[in-house]
Structure 1
Amino acid sequence: MRIIAGRFRGLALASVGKGDAGAHLRPTTDRVRESLFSMLTGGRFGDPIEDARVLDLFAGTGALGLEALSRGASHVTFVDDGRKSLSLIRENVAKCRCKDEVTIVKRDATRLPEGTPHDLIFLDPPYGKGMGEKALASAMTGGWIAPGALIVWEENAEITLPDGVELLDSRRYGDTVISVCEMVD
């Protein structure tokens, strides 16, 4: 895994090999991450990354949030409760030398406390467990999602969007489906 573009371009991130099923680590591949960011920056959504406050739920290795930071986001909040994930996020933040631009929250993403609004949300829950819906509801209730925010949801099963969230685009990459949604309420 590596950062694809921006100020950290080419930086190799901490490796988890094929992932860690016990820790629910299933890193987004470079190819899917590159396609995702091409979709986001391709003009259809304006420039959702520049100066954005990013919320990375089920952050895993932190690769999605760090890619956004590399491409111009102002701050990233990583949320994960896995010991291995938190260790990888800290290691990757150290590699990027961006400690002052991130917040790491050790928390179950489905049970968020009150927070501050973010403009771009990455939601990459363990596949097929319905945790994405719970985390999104928790983030909405806790004030973590700004009006008009883009939500990028990675899943392998059908997703159910709550009221106030609209699907803008959806693309399949093998068994992974990337859905780009917008907070409309």
Structure 2
Amino acid sequence: MTRIVAGEKGGLHLTVPKSGTRPTSERVREAMFSHLLCSGFPQGAAVLDLFAGSGALGLEALSRGGASAVFVDAARSAAKVLRANIDTLHYRDCSRVVVKDAAKYVSELKPTDCFDLIFLDPPYALAPYVLSEILAGLTAHFSPEGVMVLETSKKFPTPEIPSGLQADGTKNYGDTLVTYLQKARDCG
């Protein structure tokens, strides 16, 4: 059973799709948000949850003070469960669900689309070059002080971090590797 760990909806349970997703464990989500809250997020953040599945990451961000969230998943079955979770938590007014491939969604973003907090929890077997392309596409839609949280597996090759982004720390949780990314800072 998956639940919201903390915030205004802390303790409420989420439904998880029967197949095709790998929900982020409560332990990993708690650690992610401890790190993010030390950075001042997600208070007022515009959130993007790519490869959303049940929406646990984006919904956790809303529960902890995020202002709005866009959830993207290619699977219609996951989107149906996600919409039910949004309704259960009464976040319909600040949420949008998009049923689309993540790479296609990113390639179709408008120049004015901008997010403060981006979660990427792709299938572990996703080709690293595809994930690198998605990360590169997001750099133009990422606020200057924003944070991206990338969840990958230590068992699969990690994607190349594109220019314009830099790692701001990594943490291992069993087989899960969490990488925090921010916009690259000029040294000069």
- Regarding TM over 0.5, the answer is yes
* Structure-1 residue corresponding to 2:133: 134
After the TM superposition, which residues 125-164 of structure 1 pair with which residues of structure 2 at under 5 Å, given as runs? 125-129=122-126, 130=128, 131-140=130-139, 143-156=140-153, 157=156, 158-164=158-164
| 3-state SS in 1 of match to 2:14 | coil
Distance 2:146 2:125 in 1: 24
Which among 54, 60, 65 is matched to residue 61 of structure 1? 54
* Structure-1 residue corresponding to 2:63: 70
Q: How much is the aligned-residue C-alpha RMSD, in angstroms?
A: 1.5
Tell me, yes or no, if the aligned pair for 1:5 and 1:70 is still in contact at 8 Å: yes
Tell me, yes or no, if the aligned pair for 1:76 and 1:101 is still in contact at 8 Å: yes
Tell me, yes or no, if the aligned pair for 1:2 and 1:11 is still in contact at 8 Å: yes
* Structure-2 residue corresponding to 1:12: 13
Instruction: Tell me the TM-score normalised to structure 1 length.
Output: 0.89
Instruction: Tell me the TM-score normalised to structure 2 length.
Output: 0.87
* Structure-2 residue corresponding to 1:39: 35
Q: Confirm or deny that 1:48 pairs with 2:41.
A: yes
Using the aligned pairs only, state the percent identity: 38
Distance 1:83 1:172 in 2: 31
Distance 1:82 1:16 in 2: 10
After the TM superposition, which residues 174-185 of structure 1 pair with which residues of structure 2 at under 5 Å, given as runs? 174-184=174-184
* Structure 1 residue 6 displacement after superposition: 0.6
Q: Confirm or deny that 1:123 pairs with 2:120.
A: yes
Distance 2:84 2:47 in 1: 19
Distance 1:32 1:136 in 2: 21
Q: Match for 1:52: what amino acid?
A: A
Distance 2:88 2:134 in 1: 28
Unaligned runs of 5+ in 1: none
Deviations 1:100-134 (A, max 9, x none): 01111111111121231000000111103224223
* Structure-1 residue corresponding to 2:81: 88
* Structure 1 residue 145 displacement after superposition: 1.8
Distance 2:141 2:74 in 1: 17
Aligned length: 175
* Structure-2 residue corresponding to 1:110: 103
* Structure 1 residue 39 displacement after superposition: 1.7
